[in-house]
């Protein structure tokens, strides 16, 4: 149950990523939608200044209800944005955003009054002030939008980076978990291609029980291999690969050759008495001693062959083999 819970946690993390992705896409959509609307406000605030300038320079041509209504519409759209961003930390003016926009509304209303009265002399002087106020406001809006978009972009990159790091960490843990599970359930030692300790102990259970039941002998040939620590890691690995290949070629298909630990190997010999087991030991001894492992220092071996006593447990049998090897 404990290992199933580990598997469940990995699956839960994977599902978490699946649920996080829509949130990331939602943030991206919100960010780009905000940037689009803010950019539109920058364009409108700049256009209002240019439109007011056109009214000042040529009031006879620009005085028509359609042109004035466009300016009013633009001001209404900007006013909504001002209300939403009045308390923004990105404001760089001296008052407040709403006060700056209020001055534009006031001066624009004055301009419309002068237009209605055809008072073009006053219109020119007041219009210049309004145009300056509008330009100042458009600069503030542009700077605010720049700072806001810069933060959104940085937040986007940061969230993307965190998502990538989270994914990389998750991949690492999933891979480590899968690797641990493969090793846990594997029956082979990858370095020598012999069976591992887990398989040895499971087979020992079966063969010991069979020996007790059938009264057939069971022998164990144990080997200790000593490779000098001065040898390079690649050489040591090659020695164990060659050693495993030799053991496989010298044993029968019914024999079970296993790696008990890093330097100790055991070969289970079912239905084999000690005399026949010693014949195999001598054959393996002669082959290993005469084999060229291509090392600077000579590879040393120790051998031990014992017969299973039906009165002992498998743990006692293993302990006896270890004592025989010294």
Pair (36, 173) in one structural domain: yes
Q: How confident is the model at residue 280 (pLDDT cuts 50, 70, 90)?
A: very high
Q: In what order do the strands lie in the sheet with 256-259?
A: 256-259, 264-270, 218-226, 300-307
CA 142 to chain centre: 38
End-to-end CA distance of the chain: 40
Q: In the chain, how many domains are there?
A: 2
**Highest mean pLDDT range out of 31-35, 58-62, 236-240?**
236-240
Residue 2 pLDDT > 50, yes or no? no
Strand partners, 223: 265, 303
Establish if 189 belongs to a structural domain.
Answer: no
Per-residue pLDDT, 61: 55
Task: Measure the CA–CA gap between 128 and 53, rounded to whole angstroms.
Answer: 8
Per-residue pLDDT, 195: 93
Q: How confident is the model at residue 124 (pLDDT cuts 50, 70, 90)?
A: confident
State mean pLDDT over 186-198.
89
Report the candidate in 318, 283, 288, 284 with the shortest Cα–Cα distance to residue 300.
288
Pair (253, 168) in one structural domain: no
Pair (156, 276) in one structural domain: no
Residue 173 pLDDT > 90, yes or no? no
Establish if 149 belongs to a structural domain.
Answer: yes
Q: Domain range spanning residue 163?
A: 2-182
124 within 8 A of 172, measured Cβ to Cβ: no
CATH number, residue 283: 3.30.70.270
Mean pLDDT, the chain, whole residue set = 86
- 282-316 pLDDT per residue, tens: 999 999 999 999 888 889 999 999 999 988 988 88
Q: Which residue has the tokens 């330009």?
A: 135
Q: Which long-range contacts (CB under 8 A, 24 or more apart) does 226-233 make?
A: 226/263, 226/299, 226/300, 226/301, 226/302, 227/263, 227/295, 227/299, 228/295, 228/296, 228/297, 230/296, 230/297, 231/295, 231/296, 231/297
Pair (203, 298) in one structural domain: yes
If residue 12 lies in a helix (H) or strand (E), which one and from where to where? helix 2-57
If residue 221 lies in a helix (H) or strand (E), which one and from where to where? strand 218-226
Of 149, 182, 215, the residue that ends a domain is: 182
pTM value is 0.51
Radius of gyration of the chain, Cα coordinates, nearest whole angstrom: 43
Q: Which residue has the tokens 């495993």?
A: 244
- 220-272 pLDDT per residue, tens: 999 999 998 878 888 889 999 999 999 999 999 999 999 999 899 999 999 99
Pair (39, 151) in one structural domain: yes
Pair (73, 125) in one structural domain: yes
Residue 4 pLDDT > 50, yes or no? no
Pair (131, 201) in one structural domain: no
Q: How confident is the model at residue 3 (pLDDT cuts 50, 70, 90)?
A: very low
Task: Report CA dihedral (229, 234, 236, 238) to the nearest 10 degrees.
Answer: -170
Of 150, 182, 214, the residue that ends a domain is: 182
Residue 43 pLDDT > 80, yes or no? yes
Per-residue pLDDT, 171: 78
Q: How confident is the model at residue 142 (pLDDT cuts 50, 70, 90)?
A: very high
- The DSSP letter of residue 226 is E
Residue 128 pLDDT > 70, yes or no? yes
Helix (H, G, I), strand (E, B) or coil at 264: strand
State mean pLDDT over 100-107.
91
Of 182, 205, 220, the residue that ends a domain is: 182
Q: How confident is the model at residue 277 (pLDDT cuts 50, 70, 90)?
A: very high
């Amino acid at each position: 149950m404990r290992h199933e819970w580990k598997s469940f946690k990995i699956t839960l993390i994977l599902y978490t990523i699946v649920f996080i992705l829509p949130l990331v896409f939602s943030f991206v959509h919100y960010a780009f939608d905000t940037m689009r609307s803010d950019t539109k406000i920058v364009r409108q605030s700049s256009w209002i200044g240019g439109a007011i300038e056109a009214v000042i320079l040529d009031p006879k041509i620009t005085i028509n209800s359609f042109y004035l209504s466009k300016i009013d519409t633009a001001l209404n759209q900007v006013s909504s944005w001002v209300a939403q961003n009045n308390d923004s930390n990105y404001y760089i003016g001296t008052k407040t955003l709403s006060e700056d926009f209020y001055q534009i509304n006031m001066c624009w209303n004055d301009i419309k009054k002068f237009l209605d009265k055809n008072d073009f002399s006053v219109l020119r002087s007041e219009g210049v002030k309004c145009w300056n106020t509008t330009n100042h406001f458009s600069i503030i809006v542009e700077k605010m939008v720049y700072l806001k978009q810069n933060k959104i972009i940085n937040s986007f990159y940061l969230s993307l980076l965190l998502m990538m790091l989270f994914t990389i960490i998750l991949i690492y843990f999933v891979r480590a978990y899968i690797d641990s599970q493969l090793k846990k359930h594997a029956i082979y030692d990858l370095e020598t291609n012999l069976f591992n300790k887990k398989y040895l102990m499971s087979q020992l259970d079966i063969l010991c029980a069979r020996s007790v039941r059938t009264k057939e002998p069971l022998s164990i040939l144990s080997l200790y291999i000593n490779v000098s620590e001065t040898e390079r890691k690649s050489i040591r690995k090659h020695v164990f690969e060659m050693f495993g290949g030799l053991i496989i070629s010298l044993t029968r298909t019914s024999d079970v050759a296993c790696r008990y630990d890093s330097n100790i190997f055991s070969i289970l010999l079912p239905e084999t008495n000690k005399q026949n087991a010693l014949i195999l030991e001598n054959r393996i001894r002669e082959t290993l001693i005469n084999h060229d492992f291509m090392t600077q220092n000579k590879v040393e071996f120790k051998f031990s062959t014992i017969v299973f006593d039906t009165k002992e447990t498998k743990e006692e049998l293993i302990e006896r083999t270890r004592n025989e090897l010294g």
